Amino acid sequence: MNKRPGMRIGAAILFGFFGLLFFVLMVRFVTIQVTGEADGKVLAAQAAKKYLKSGVLEAARGTIFDQKGEVIAEDTSAYTLVAILDESVSKDSKEPKHVTDPQKTAEVLSSLLEVDRSSLQDRLSKGIENNLFQVEFGSAGRGISHQMKLQIEKEKLPGITFVKESKRFYPNGIFSSHLIGFAQKEEKEGKTTDIVGKMGIEKSLDKYLTGTDGKVKYDSDKWGYILPQSKEHVTPPHNGSDVYLTIDKKIQTFLEETMSKVDEQYKPEKMLAVVADPKTGKILAMSQRPTFHPDTRDDLMSWQNEIVESSYEPGSTFKSFSLAAAVEEGVFAPGAYYESGKYFVDGNPVPIRDHNGGEGWGSITYLEGVQRSSNVAFAKLMDEIGQERYREYLDKFGFGQLTGIDLPNETAGKILYHYPIEKYTTIFGQGTTVTPLQVIQAETAIANNGKMMKPYVIEKIVDHDTKKIVKQTEPEVAGNPISAETAKKVREYLATTVTSEKGTGQKFAIDGYDVAGKSGTAQIPDEKNGGYQVGKENYLFSFLGMAPADDPQLIVYVAIKKPELKPTEIGSDPVSQVFNPVMLNSLKYLNIKPQETESLKRSKLADVTGESVQKAKKQLEESGLSAVIIGDGQTVTEQSASPGEVLLQGERIVLRTDGNLTIPDMKGWSVRDVLKVTKMANLDLNMVGTGYVTKQNIKPDSTFSESEPLVVTFQSPEQQLNEKKNENETDEEAPLN
């Protein structure tokens, strides 16, 4: 009984304490219910933050296609290699889930990834020492293909895992790399972001190719799983637009394979080539050397698209447009004669010289001057056209102006046209600078009957999701510098540079197709010493051609700078090894059937044996053939070709007469024609060098005996020029053809 009062007091105290606690809790509960806040924070927002999850729906980057829908660049799945180092991840697992043996792991990975083992092991060891949860392996561990991922997984290395990501993939390898460019993951403040275009079309069209990521929001349980019957809020991604180029994968492949072969053989300082459709201005192929692989960026030495962003002195390919101007003005008389060799511009003591050191070929026709690429012929044509009038044609053909092609950083070149000598050298391609695109654009006027077409490479841009065309490029006429009649005549004249035995473009003849074009050997400025560089190889060798000549379907332009030539080779050799197979294969691929050119006239050889020399010579000349007489007799006893044989007009036919044998002047002849004489006269021929005849040991028109030794020296045009150079190198000099 004595204890009961104390118990009552204790119970009362406890009751009061718990009553007060209950009251406080109830007040707190009611306050939270009414205000929805706790400690100044909105509880609904905190719950949403914890249980409302959101994710990113990645947008795909647009695909780049060729004109026929073949993939050039696209997104593909790739993986980043990750090594888990924290031992805690293996705590409740029977098998280890972290790297247990850094040395073995590095050894296996190095053999598969083909990277240095020590660098991998060092990265793993430092990560363990610094108590890092995981490490990556830099560029060696990024962009892992699915096939490589499977190979690594077969090794069952503890702690090795992968993070899936997107990667830009270029399935064709080296494929117009400076045009297409490349895109890659861009890292900012240590965080990987989207794929970004860094060069070429990938960069210039980045705003079209890049998509907009979407989002997804959903309610989850405490483990992050979606709650049943919860509503999802999805903002779908908008994928990047697809780009279709005018490039034709097949033709581009022809070009890449051929250029790689020539690049390996001749090791030039620089190469570039373009294939275009003259009817529309579409660029079907475009490439340069040096180049690079867009996936690895190996050998990426220059970020410049040389075809768009650089200019240079074109050399004699420029004569194509000078010839067109002369024909349009009505001042080109193909059968008229002029004296070749040298031409003096008023006020300039150094003459313009033909490419054989200024020796020339005597009095020849202007057509032969075009065929031989005579600088003097074009200097004289400048007098006929007029300097101011010719300047207008430069503008009409678009030189010194941007073509406006849909590519960045285009340069315009520079027309050097202040002093008289500059005006005269411009007409044959020296001093003034141009771009390959300008050359292609101007050539379309000749190939397309006077209509000059603006070049372009972007066919269309298409919204990937809706398939609607965002942007479409249509063929555009950039001007009409010449008439259709002029264009046709110029094509016929340019075709003879390939078919004529005097033509500088003989190496560019293609079986089954007639080619019209112009070769060029431009001198390279010597930036250190002034003037121009000297030496057999120190030129920009080029050829600008179209086929078929009567109705061109393709234009191909090839330029090669400073190739390594053998003593017996000339600059046209490496250029033709690119031009010929690319043009031939492209024509066949486009199903353009071979046809005999109308301008290539042929004659059937008559039997003139037994005829008098005068009658035989007249008969052959009437057939368009050139008669060469060996012997001082009056009657023809033998002819170099069989009666009835069909020959090209202008071909030499050697006629042997009775009486004493005489030797003709063979200077400038090809090996083929020299062999006709030696075979007919039974001479013992000893040839020195290659190219065209410069010397012969038997004096022309002198008599000789059968089996007498004949020593003939041959030299290429480049060798002739180098041998005859005796002026100061800083003087104005003419380029080779």
pLDDT band at residue 683 under the 50/70/90 scheme: confident
167/718: higher pLDDT:
167
Percent of the chain predicted with pLDDT > 90: 52
CA distance 447 to 583: 15
145/341: higher pLDDT:
341
Indicate which residue of 316, 320, 374, 519 is catalytic.
316
Least confident of 132-141, 430-439, 482-491, 726-735: 726-735
Cis-peptide, bond into residue 5, ω within 30° of zero: no
Identify the residue whose tokens are 């790297």.
99
Least confident of 71-75, 218-222, 326-330: 218-222
The pLDDT tens digits of the residues spanning 536-569 come to 899 999 999 999 999 999 999 999 999 999 988 9
CATH superfamily, domain at 60-210: Penicillin-binding protein 2a (Domain 2) (3.90.1310.10)
Strands of 426-526, DSSP E: 452-453, 458-462, 469-472, 477-479, 516-523
374 is catalytic: no
Q: 694 pLDDT exceeds 90?
A: no
CATH architecture of the domain with range 249-589? 3-Layer(aba) Sandwich (3.40)
At 472 the pLDDT is 96
Show the 3-state SS of 366-433. Answer: HHHHHHCCCHHHHHHHHHHHCHHHHHHHHHHCCCCCCCCCCCCCCCCCECCCCCHHHHHHHCCCCCCE
Question: What is the pTM (predicted TM-score) of this model?
Answer: 0.73
The pLDDT tens digits of the residues spanning 285-320 come to 999 999 999 988 888 888 999 999 999 999 999 999
217/341: higher pLDDT:
341
CA distance 414 to 391: 13
CA distance 294 to 180: 9
Averaged pLDDT, 459-467 = 95
At 485 the pLDDT is 95
Kindly list the domain boundaries of the chain, sorted by start residue: 4-54, 60-210, 249-589, 602-722
pLDDT band at residue 720 under the 50/70/90 scheme: low
Q: What are phi and psi of 675, to 5 degrees?
A: -65, -30
CA distance 505 to 565: 18
Q: Is 67:459 a contact under the CB 8 Å cutoff?
A: yes
At 722 the pLDDT is 63
pLDDT band at residue 728 under the 50/70/90 scheme: very low
Smallest Cα–Cα separation from 447: which of 342, 311, 546, 309? 546
At 264 the pLDDT is 97
The DSSP line for 71-112 is: EEEEEEEEEEEEEE--GGGGTT-SS--S-S-HHHHHHHHHHH
Q: Is 131:125 a contact under the CB 8 Å cutoff?
A: no
At 2 the pLDDT is 55
pLDDT band at residue 698 under the 50/70/90 scheme: confident
Q: Among 3.30.420.10, 3.40.640.10, 3.30.10.20, 3.40.720.10, name the CATH number for the domain at 602-722.
A: 3.30.10.20
At 730 the pLDDT is 45
Q: What is the largest CA-CA distance in the chain?
A: 172
The pLDDT tens digits of the residues spanning 346-393 come to 989 999 999 999 999 999 999 999 999 999 999 999 999 999 999 999
CB atoms within 10 A of CB 695: 13
700/288: higher pLDDT:
288
pLDDT band at residue 597 under the 50/70/90 scheme: very low
C-alpha separations of 586 from 71, 259, 457 in Å: 20, 15, 18
The pLDDT tens digits of the residues spanning 198-254 come to 999 999 999 999 988 887 765 555 444 455 555 556 778 899 999 999 999 999 999
CA distance 103 to 368: 76
